[in-house]
Amino acid sequence: MWSISEQEGVRYLHFGSPLVQGAMRIARPYALELEYTRDMMLPLLLRGSARWPSSVLQVGLGSGSITKFLHRYRPEARLVVVELHEDVVDIARNYFKLPEEGPKLRIELAEGFDYLARQRKPFDWIIVDGFDGDGHAGALDSASFYHSVRAHLTEQGMLSVNLVGKRVNQRAARDRISNAFEERLVSMERDGDGNSIVVAAVGDRIECPAAKLRTNGAALQKETHVEFASTVERALGKVAMSGGPFRL
């Protein structure tokens, strides 16, 4: 079902197809090798505080790159990762240096939709990156799931979602997210890439001058040695040319 490939110092994870499910630069195992995973970190730049988030739910483990990044660079955050397949967890540990569980990291074997529905405590940040080898997210890309996510966020909570597949299907998914979050979202796409990242927010409106967002990106890059300038510019979009602030 799964396979691993290596090319030019990067190890890739596949689930029964050429579609890349995760990647790790062997010399830098805690970095974010794939650009779309960096875009999913936009909430860190918007909140701009080392104290945020205090709690994270990650749905879909893959190679564990996001898990490792947050576990290392936001060590005070309580991180819960929900993964449907036990063999994926084993792969991430054996081939991609997934840390062992501890007080701040817990791995749950469960279906993400059902797991979230059972939760009583909200999360500061919910990250959704779960799909099969063909790019199908199933119930994780449904109106009821996105409304459940909204209901399980704290007052200043945020959502990051990786959308995969045909652009027409991604647009439909964005509409479902927009409906659940009252149109408070930003979408980031890359040319020649099948991934599209959507970030949504609740609580107080976010208004961040473009210069401040670039400063936050540079600060996180200095802290983590991961490049975030491209993420900032994709988030700014047309705002970068107008000179106005980023609003969410």
Close Cβ partners of 33 (under 8 Å, ≥ 6 residues apart): 10, 23, 24, 25, 65
Nearest 5°: phi and psi at 188?
Answer: -125, 125
Among 203, 219, 199, which residue's Cα sits nearest to residue 49?
Answer: 219
Per the annotation, the verdict on 90 as an active-site residue is no
DSSP state of 141: G
Alpha helix (H) residue ranges in 74-194: 86-95, 112-118, 143-151, 167-180
Tell me which of 39, 124, 129, 141 is the catalytic residue.
129
Nearest 5°: phi and psi at 70?
Answer: -70, -35
CA 176 – CA 186 distance, rounded (Å): 13
Close Cβ partners of 241 (under 8 Å, ≥ 6 residues apart): none
Which residues are catalytically annotated?
A: 129
